[in-house]
Amino acid sequence: MFKQRTIVSIFVAIALLGGAALAVRQVTRAQDGFTYAGEIAAPEFPTDLDWLNVSAPLTMSELEGKIVLLDFWTYGCINCIHIIPDLHDLEAKYGDNLVVIGVHSAKFENEGQTDNIRQIVQRYHVEHPVVNDADFVIWSTYGVRAWPTVVLIDPLGKVVGGQSGEGIFPIFDPILETMVQEYGDAGLLNDTPLAKSAPETSPATAFYFPGKVQADPATNRLLVSDTANHRIVVTSLDGSGETMVIGTGERGFTDGSFAEAQFSEPQGITIDGDLAYVADTVNHAIRVIDFSTQTVSTLVGTGQQASSYPPLAGTAPNVELSSPWDVTLVGNSLYMAMAGSHQLWRVDLTTGETSPYAGSGRENIIDGPLNSAQLAQPSGIDSDGTLLYFADAEVSAIRTADLDPNGAVGTIVGTGLFDFGDVDGMGDEVRLQHALGVVVAPNGLLYVTDTYNNKIKVIDPVARASRTYAGTGEAGLVDGSVSDAQFYEPGGLDYADGKLYIADTNNHAIRVIDLETETVSTLAIVDTTVLLPEAAPTTPAGLDPVTVNTNPFALGDKVVQLEAQTVAPGKGALVFDITLPEGYKLNDLAPFTVIQDGSTVVNVADDFKNYQEVHPELPVRLPVTFSEGSDSYSADLTIYWCEGVNQTLCFVESVTLEVPVIVSNEATTSEIVLPYTLVPPTAG
C-alpha cells in the first residue's frame, strides 16, 4: 500500500517485453513537437482477462486517438478510494478525448474475484472500463510498485509517464489540457464515444451497499448508514415501525432539516440520546443528527480532504479530516477511526479541540505509545469504557488503544500488512481478511465483521482467541443457523438486547443474529415507502374484481384487495401465486418474505408468521388452520426478483394483499389463493 500522499516527480518504469532492462523517463520531455509524448509503445492487454463496464475486452489499437490513463488500484485501499473522485472529475472535464481504464490488481485474495470487483464498481459509481489483473500481469509489464499508480498514454499509443499516490487531479489536469490542445490541433484526437462502453447496472433495492449500523434500545431506533444512497435510514429494531430517511439521497455537503441535508457515502454512527454522530466519509466530516429538532449539522470538517498529511489538529468545525470511517463516544470525547490517515482521532465535545489520538500516520502494524504506534486504515471502532477496540483493516487486525492519553496501542490479533487469511485459533496464528467492524458485547467478547471472509468472528480479547461465529465463508444471502448462514462482505455491526445487527453490505441488507438461539435472519423493513421510488400500481391476474388502493396504514408499498373467498374449516393452506414476467426469476440471493399475523378465522402458526425462503418454489404454500366465521386476512410480501439471463437488473417489491375470508362447512376448498403479478418498472 502506498505510504505517502504525493510524489513530486512524475515517472514510470516500463518493463520491456522480452526481459529487457527497465526504461525510466521524465514525462515532460518533448518529442515530435508535443510537450508530452511517449517513446515506448504501450503493451497490448492480455487476452484472457475479465473486463467490466465494456461489452468486450479492449485493445490498444481501439484506443488510438484517445488519451489514456491506466489506474492501477485495489478496491480496499483507502488511497485508491481517494483518487476515484479525481478520476471522475478528469473524465467529466475531458469527455471522450480521455479514456480511464481501471487496472484492478488485487492485494487481498477476495479482491481478485471479478464478481466482487463488480460490486465495488457499482458501489463507487465507476463507469469507465475496468480489467481484472488478478495475477499482476499488466502490473508487472508496467513495473508498477504501489497502489494507486496512474500511467499516462498518448493518443499515438506511447507511454508518457506515471504518478503514484493521491492528488491526481491537480497533477494531470494541466498535462491533459496541454495534450488536448496540441494533439487536437494536429488532428490526432478521436473524440467519438468509446464504442464498447457498457457500464454495469445496479439493482433497485431498499438499501444500497449499507456500510454501518447502530442500534439504540433506549429509543427502539435502528440507524443504518445507507452508504451508496448517501443517506441515513432510521427504523425500529424489529423493522416493524415507521421508517425515516435523513438526507436527500443525492451526494452533497448540506446542513439543515432531515429533508434538506446531504451526505456523501456516510459510514459509522454512534448515538447519545437524541443525538447521533455520523462519520460522513467522503465529505471528510463528522455530522450531527438531532432528533429533537430533526436537523443535521456539521461538528467538524470542511467538506474537503485534508491538504496536509497527516492532517493537522485544530478546533472544530474548521478542521480538515481524511476519510473518517467510524465513530464511538466515551464520556465527552468522540473518537473516530480515521482510515485516510491511518490514525485514531479525538474530538473534545466541550472545547471542540480536534486532534490525532493514536497513530503516527505511517501505515503498518506497530504497537507502542499512542503517538508513535503505526496503524493501517482503521475502519471500525468501539469501546467498553476502559479501552478503544478498533478494526485495522489493511493489516487484517483487531487492536486496542488505551483511553489514558499516556497509554499505548496494542494488538489482539493480526501480524502484518500482507498477512491475511481465514484461520481460527490463538494469538499470532489467527488470520482475518480486511475486517471492517468490531463491537464489544456486555460479556467482554468482541464480535467482528471479517469482511472479505464473509463471516462474523467472535474474539476473546484476553485469551487472544478467535473463532468463526456465523457464516460459511461463501458469499450469499442465506438465513438459518449461524453455521449455515451466508453473508457478502459485511461492513459493520452493533449489539443490542442479545442480538447483533449487521450491515451486510454487498447483499444490500441488514441481518440479525439472535445470540441465544444462534440463528440468523434478514431484517424485514415493513415500511419501505420512503426507501424505494414509488411504483405504478400492479393489477393482479386472476380473481376479479380487485381494487388497488393506497391505505395509509398498509405495511407494504401498496395494498391489493382481492375478492372474498370461502373455505372449509380445519387444516388448509395459503397459496401465494406470484407471476413473474417472461425472462425474469426470483433473486437467487434474497429471501421471499411473508409477514402475517392471521385473523380470527385464519390461524397461523408462530413458525410461519415471519416466513423467509431464498428462491422458493412457486406458488408458495403455507399451512394454516381455518375456524368458522368471517374476517379479513392480510399478508405483507417482500419479493426480490431479477432479469433471468444476465441478472443485470434486479428489483424489490413490497405489497400488502388483503382478502375477506368466509369459513363455512359448505365450502369445497381448503385453500385461499392470493395472486400477484410482477411488472418490470419502466423509465419515465
Residue 553 confidence (pLDDT) above 80: no
**AA letter at 371:** N
pLDDT of residue 488: 97
DSSP result, 232-294: EEEE-TTS-S--EEES-SS---B-EETTT-B-SSEEEEEEETTEEEEEEGGGTEEEEEETTTT
Residue 550 confidence (pLDDT) above 60: no
d(CA 668, CA 608): 25
**What's the CA angle centered on 14, arms 9 and 20, to 5 degrees?**
135
> DSSP label at 484?
T
Residue 443 confidence (pLDDT) above 70: yes
More confident residue, 19 or 205: 205
pLDDT of residue 200: 87
pLDDT of residue 31: 56
* First-to-final CA distance of the chain: 44
Residue 427 confidence (pLDDT) above 70: yes
- Going by pLDDT thresholds of 50, 70 and 90, the confidence category of residue 649 is low
pLDDT of residue 28: 43
Q: Which residues pair with 348 in a beta bridge?
A: 333
Residues of the chain above pLDDT 90, percent: 77
Burial class (CB in 10 A: 0-12, 13-18, 19+), 493: buried
In this prediction, residues 428-440 reach a mean pLDDT of 98
Helix axes 84-94, 168-185, angle to 10 degrees: 20
pLDDT of residue 27: 42
pLDDT tens for 460-499 read 999 999 999 999 999 999 999 999 999 999 999 999 999 9
In this prediction, residues 612-620 reach a mean pLDDT of 88
**Which distant-in-sequence residues (6+ apart) come within 8 Å of 656 by Cβ?**
551, 554, 555, 556, 558, 559, 560, 634, 635, 636, 637
d(CA 634, CA 631): 10
Residues of the chain above pLDDT 70, percent: 90
**AA letter at 73:** W
Residue 217 confidence (pLDDT) above 60: yes
pTM flag (> 0.85): no
d(CA 642, CA 587): 6
More confident residue, 12 or 314: 314
- Going by pLDDT thresholds of 50, 70 and 90, the confidence category of residue 6 is very low
d(CA 172, CA 163): 9
Residue 547 confidence (pLDDT) above 60: no
pLDDT tens for 500-539 read 999 999 999 999 999 999 999 999 888 877 887 543 333 3
- Going by pLDDT thresholds of 50, 70 and 90, the confidence category of residue 545 is very low
In angstroms, the Cα distances linking 339 to 82, 290, 336, 533, 586 are 11, 25, 9, 33, 38
The two beta strands, 244-246 and 231-235, are: antiparallel
In this prediction, residues 239-246 reach a mean pLDDT of 93
Residue given cell 503493451 in the structure block:
43
Of the candidate ranges 292-301, 370-379, 393-402, 673-682, the one whose mean pLDDT is the lowest: 673-682
CB atoms within 10 A of CB 418: 11
d(CA 559, CA 548): 6
Q: Nearest to residue 39, comparing CAs of 9, 12, 78, 75? A: 12
User: Grid coordinates in use for 385?
Assistant: 469504557
In this prediction, residues 546-557 reach a mean pLDDT of 34
pLDDT tens for 155-180 read 999 999 999 999 999 999 999 999 99
- Going by pLDDT thresholds of 50, 70 and 90, the confidence category of residue 377 is very high
pLDDT of residue 203: 72
- Going by pLDDT thresholds of 50, 70 and 90, the confidence category of residue 682 is low
User: Grid coordinates in use for 128?
Assistant: 469507465
| Average pLDDT of every residue of the chain | 89
Q: Specify whether the CB–CB gap between 573 and 622 falls below 8 A.
A: yes
Burial class (CB in 10 A: 0-12, 13-18, 19+), 512: buried
Report residue 363 CA to chain centroid gap: 23
> Buried (b) or exposed (e) across 281-299, using 16+ Cβ within 10 A?
bbbbbbbbbebeeebbebb
